Amino acid sequence: METISEARAYEGVQGVYSHSSHTTGCDMTFAVYMPPQAKYGPVPCLWYLSGLTCTHENAMTKAGLQAHAAEFGLAIVFPDTSPRGDKVADDEAYDLGKGAGFYINATEKPWAPHFKMEDYIVKDLRALVQNAFEVLDSHGITGHSMGGHGALTLAMKYPELFRSLSAFAPIANPSQSDWGRKQFKAYLGDNEALWAANDASLLLKEAGWPSDILIDQGAGDQFLELLKPESLAAALAETRTPSTIRMQEGYDHSYYFVSTFGWDHVAWHAERLGA
């Protein structure tokens, strides 16, 4: 692991790091905020997965989560959204290729050699964070938009790795949305059974979730038709999963929305992670 930068923030440290990932076959950049409480021992860890076109930097600089993490004593990990580099496949469209990994393991050419974001998050980067930083084996996960999709699906697939789960405006039913069908077809091929295994609204019915879930969605979100929060709400009701879904009047899809409700999510995770 190489340190790119470190800065003092709210008496803790906001760092940016890079490492060579065997999983993605390229160098990856990520950010970690360590709160001041980490000076005295390991702290719980919250993962924040970002949305389409983002890198590690968007939430790190726009979401304002460091102040809340310092208040509650949580580390926050901000991964990148896709593999990067000259040898990594890409597409001219903003919603496919670099910046649009969808937190799944691609099986189709030309994506399969590098686009292994599911394994990267839950295996490669998790092991690195666990070994290199003062964090407990007590992890929660959240995310925004495509990252909300990733948070939901990864938590449901790996409940042994994540003790708490929330999302901001997640892509909730990607197999039935243009934010999903296009990418799933490219990355996974025509087998829609593979799509279903990466769709939170469908996966919840198959795998369930052992705890409760917090979802915030802007009622004024310009992408509501693509996000399909009603599908996730129906699945939560059908499976009788304890959940809080809040339609926030007037809020759109931007980081103004995320930052407004960031304290609520950090506090919610802190309670469940024992911070």
pLDDT of residue 177: 97
What pLDDT sits at residue 1? 95
- Positive or negative CA dihedral for 70, 125, 198, 60? positive
pLDDT over 70, % of the chain = 100
What letter represents residue 24's amino acid? T
The two beta strands, 213-218 and 243-248, are: parallel
The whole-number pLDDT of residue 275 equals 74
pLDDT at 141: 98
Predicted pLDDT of residue 130: 97
Peptide bond preceding 110 in cis form (omega within 30 of 0): yes
Q: Tokens 């990990």 belong to which residue?
A: 77
Bridge-based pairing of strands 75-78 and 26-34 is antiparallel
Mean pLDDT of the chain: 98
Write out pLDDT tens, residues 169-178: 999 999 999 9
Above 90 in pLDDT, residue 25? yes
The closest of 49, 269, 42 to 164, measured between CA atoms, is: 269
Amino acid at 179: W
pTM of the model: 0.98
> 41: pLDDT confidence band, cut at 50, 70 and 90?
very high
Domains and CATH numbers, the chain: 2-273 (3.40.50.1820)
pLDDT over 80 at 53, yes or no: yes
Catalytic residues: 145, 221, 253
Q: What is the pLDDT of residues 168-213, one digit of tens each?
A: 999 999 999 999 999 999 999 999 999 999 999 999 999 999 999 9
Q: Are 168 and 265 a contacting pair, CB within 8 Å?
A: yes
Per-residue pLDDT at 27: 98
CA dist 26 and 83 (Å) reads: 7
Residue 181 token pair: 């069908």
Q: CA 252, CA 254: separation in Å to the nearest integer?
A: 6
H helix or E strand, kind and range, residue 12: strand 12-21
